[in-house]
Chains A and B, each alone.
Chain A
Amino acid sequence: MSLAIAGMGWVTPLGIGVDSVWERLLQGEEASATPISEEFSDRVYSVFRVLESALKYISHPRLRRASPISRFAAAAGLWALESAGLKLEPQNAERIALIFAISNGGVIYTKRFYREIVAKGAQAASPLLFPETVFNAPASHLAAILGVTGATYTLVGDGAVGVAAITMAEALMANETLDYCLVVGTEEIDWLLCDAYRRWRLLRLVPPIEPFSEQNRGTILSEGAGAIVLARDGFVTIERAHPGGYFRRRAEAEKILKRILCDLAETEIDFVVSSANGTFVDDAESEALQEVVPNTLVYTGKPALGESVGAAGLWQIMLAAQALHSKELPPVLHADDTARLQLSLSRTPVPSARRAIVLSCGLNQQTAGLRLVSQ
């Protein structure tokens, strides 16, 4: 049984709404960097933020005290359902499952909550903040807003968790009591995350993200959400989802990516949406792509949208679905033509494209992939 994409919702630093973001990507635009600082450090990082005004008309009592990660997720989820033409009523609320993909979770409230404990002691801890620090808080808010009474799952992992969530959705939808599965990837940024990724030697202080370059200069973190409504029918089908695996050391990532690509490239592939983000991931993916699908067009949206970790996998799938649907690939930004891959360096028509691979290599040992086919 294959599943199809029936609707999508997008909240990104480059804008909101699938058509708007897609058009800007096709035009070669990229998100604007915002400096992010912290009172206890002189170090300033650059991040791609979602504009607060973008979410002003998403309101619900459950979101009044919710962190940005929950609001991004709610907005993307609601728009995905709207684009699928799906209105949830009590009688069909049991027939939809909700799966969230998250990496760092509600880090803003987590830091605020713990800061009070450290500064003033346990008695200063806020009972209002604590529930928002829990990984499944965004999922529980959206479930409550939608009235979902059935299965709700939050998956945690690295950048590959979004694709893994689709694989899990496929397993859930094998149960015929479900008609739909809403999969949401979401992430918010805090200075603390930037600092942690820098200490891991994965972050650069200012843009751009230069994919597949000779030197891995690092990535720029971004925030937002992506949501996909999976159904039995839709405009693009998930033909095969690969559960992936994990690598013990960064140098071993290439091996598992090759395995995923070999499994997914059993049929003719028109393009690959990669997770290249200016880090070691690029080398691993480049080697795997050159060996398994050397003449296939490759696109990465991370230079334009940033590395949104928990949301990244969903964004990649949405990019692939949009490209299959519109028969065009946006330009890969900040890549030079010396890269040994067939990069889509300018806006590229792909009029006969039918199949695409989404390849996801996370920064913390996890990988996954899937293959889409247009109807």
Chain B
Amino acid sequence: MDQADRRESTNDPARVAVTAAGVISPLGFGLAETLESLRSAQDCVTPVMRFSVTQCRCKTAGQVSDSRLLASHAQIPRSGRLHRASYMMIQALQELVMQRPEFEPELTVVGTTSGGMSYGERYYRSLIGAGDLRRAPRWIANYPAQKPVIDAQTAFGISAPCRVIANACASGTNAIGHAFECVRSGRYQRVLAGGYDALAEMVFVGFDSLQAATPEKCRPFDRYRSGMVLGEGAAVLALENLDLACERGVPILAEIIGYGISSDNYHITQPEPSGIGARQAMERALESAHISAADVDYINAHGTATVFNDAAEGRAISALFNGVPISSTKSMMGHSLGAAGAIEAIVCLLALQQQFLPANINFTTPDDDVDLNIVANEARPAVVNIALSNSFGFGGTNASTLMRKSPPAPGLPRTGDA
């Protein structure tokens, strides 16, 4: 019987546990380094060296160290032939596999926006410059958007079918949300979810051409914010039927309890100014979790630091939530596009596990237009039971997920039950 035929025998939706996780980002390699960077509110944005940015307004990005990345994978067959995005996915999945070697997903759902884009750039430059095309077959073979997740699964002997969601900057959160729904519906018991993206010149210049990228520091929700900086990375989460995981004695890191998605159809690059799309995604996530806005303890905002995004998201948050602490961790690591939602889910996971609020750095002046409780510049201890993560993308696609602290033992009421 394939998994598509599996149906839940009762009408109750299954609870969805996060049982393992892995991450690589400018904040660090793995959960421990990521936690350390988050706690110390480290600014991990550095000058771009990978390609020329002399003609760009923005000259910085959150970047993953190449030498360290490649050194980590010297033992992998065909090492040196894959794209950086593949190595990042392998790195993240390796961490997850070390926690749960027996985890065998029935389905994998990941988000990305550009896959192996920089290999496409090399191919094009070689073609027009009559350059050396001997390596072109390798570039082309590693260019497809789905290749990094297939490479990562191959490295660890995982054979699950892969759904690769490319919903622009919301991709990672959409992937986690869809994976959550797959487990919750009872169709699947174990789904691997996540996202990946590597810096590419074309994408970097694209955001620069839109004047969405800043030549200054990235200061989300600040009155004087001037735009985003890009980032890169990968993150994966093992999602499982919580009750079944508990029966097997699997440690539960957190519970995903809700997911909301919306389309606002306003403009291909700008959010609807009132924030209606963002608000609908958050409302739908709350409805899906059967909780109220007052139950949320922390919001990891999309917070790109563009004038329009933060204004729209800020309005939506202030209309729905009353003083909930908010931060955009993109201020520390940049915006990793298709990976962002997955990396930020890890940030929420760490906030729930370690009971602290990650910081929104480079914040100097509140924006009078929106009433928000920003976790300014320093992480701080707090009681965090439920965290909301937002991701919004080009084309007006909006997604929110809700994660709860490692839940009580089975048998206790499910979230939202009276």
Contacts and interface: CB of A to CB of B under 8 A. Distances in A.
Interface of A: 40-41, 98, 102-103, 105, 110-111, 113-115, 117-118, 121-123, 125-127, 130-137, 139-141, 143-144, 147-158, 164, 167-168, 170-172, 174-175, 192, 195-196, 199-200, 240-246, 248, 263, 364-366, 368
21 contacts: A118-B125, A122-B209, A125-B208, A131-B394, A134-B168, A134-B394, A136-B166, A136-B397, A141-B268, A143-B263, A147-B265, A154-B167, A155-B166, A157-B162, A168-B163, A170-B4, A172-B181, A175-B181, A243-B161, A246-B150, A365-B150
A153 B165 contact: yes
Given A170-B4, A196-B123, A122 B205 contact: yes
B290 to A, nearest CB: 14
A134 B395 contact: yes
A171 B185 CA distance: 8
Given A131-B394, A246-B159, A157 B146 contact: yes
A113 B202 CA distance: 8
A242 B263 contact: no
A364 B264 contact: no
B170 to A, nearest CB: 9
A152 B166 contact: no
Contact of B167 (A113, A125, A136): A136
Nearest to B397: A152
A245 B168 CA distance: 24
Contact of A117 (B146, B153, B202): B202
B268 A143 contact: no
B2 interface: yes
Contacts of B146: 156-158, 364-366
B144 interface: yes
A40 B168 contact: no
A241 B397 CA distance: 27
Interface in B156-175: 159-168, 174
Contacts of B264: 149
B209 A127 contact: yes
Nearest to A246: B150
A199 B56 contact: no
B176 interface: no
A248 B178 CA distance: 25
A242 B2 contact: yes
Contacts of A365: 146-147, 150
B206 A154 contact: no
Contact of B56 (A122, A140, A196): A122
B265 A164 contact: no
Main secondary structure of the interface of A (DSSP, over half): mixed
B187 interface: yes
A137 B168 CA distance: 9
4 shortest interchain CB distances as A-B pairs: A140-B395, A135-B166, A130-B206, A122-B55
Nearest to B127: A40
A118 B161 CA distance: 37
B202 A148 contact: no
A164 B396 contact: no
A140 B53 contact: no
Contacts of A156: 112, 115, 144-146, 164-166
B408 interface: no
A115 B125 CA distance: 9
Given A111-B124, A143-B265, A171-B187, A164 B206 contact: no
B201 interface: yes
Contacts of B164: 155-157
Contacts of A136: 166-168, 393-395, 397
B161 A244 contact: yes
Contacts, number: 193
Interface of B: 2-5, 52-56, 107, 112-113, 115, 121, 123-125, 127-128, 133, 136-137, 140-141, 143-147, 150, 153-154, 159-168, 174, 178, 181-182, 185, 187, 201-202, 205-211, 261-265, 268-269, 280, 393-397
Contacts of A113: 202, 206
B263 A137 contact: no
Which of A140, A158, A167 is most buried by chain B, counting CB atoms within 10 A of its CB?
A140
A200 B167 contact: no
Residue among A135, A192, A245, A366 with the most chain B CB within 10 A?
A: A135
Contacts of B207: 130
Contacts of A40: 127-128
A200 B137 contact: yes
Nearest to A125: B209
A344 to B, nearest CB: 28
B409 to A, nearest CB: 28
A101 to B, nearest CB: 11
Contacts of A200: 137, 140-141
B348 to A, nearest CB: 22
Contacts of A149: 262-265, 280
Nearest to A123: B55
Contact of A135 (B52, B121, B145): B145
A364 B145 CA distance: 10
B339 to A, nearest CB: 15
B395 A263 contact: no
Contacts of A98: 263
Nearest to B117: A110
Contacts of A148: 263, 265
A61 to B, nearest CB: 11
Contacts of B140: 196, 199-200
A141 B267 CA distance: 9
B228 to A, nearest CB: 14
A154 B162 CA distance: 14
A195 to B, nearest CB: 7
B263 A130 contact: no
A202 to B, nearest CB: 10
Contacts of B159: 245-246
A183 B197 CA distance: 26
Which of B4, B161, B162, B280 has the largest number of chain A CB atoms within 10 A?
A: B161
Contacts of A155: 163-166
Contacts of A164: 161, 163
Given A132-B268, A245-B161, 13 more contacts: A117-B201, A136-B168, A139-B395, A140-B395, A143-B396, A149-B262, A149-B280, A151-B261, A164-B161, A192-B127, A200-B137, A245-B160, A364-B144
Nearest to A126: B209
B308 to A, nearest CB: 14
B4 A144 contact: no
A277 to B, nearest CB: 17
Contacts of B113: 134-135
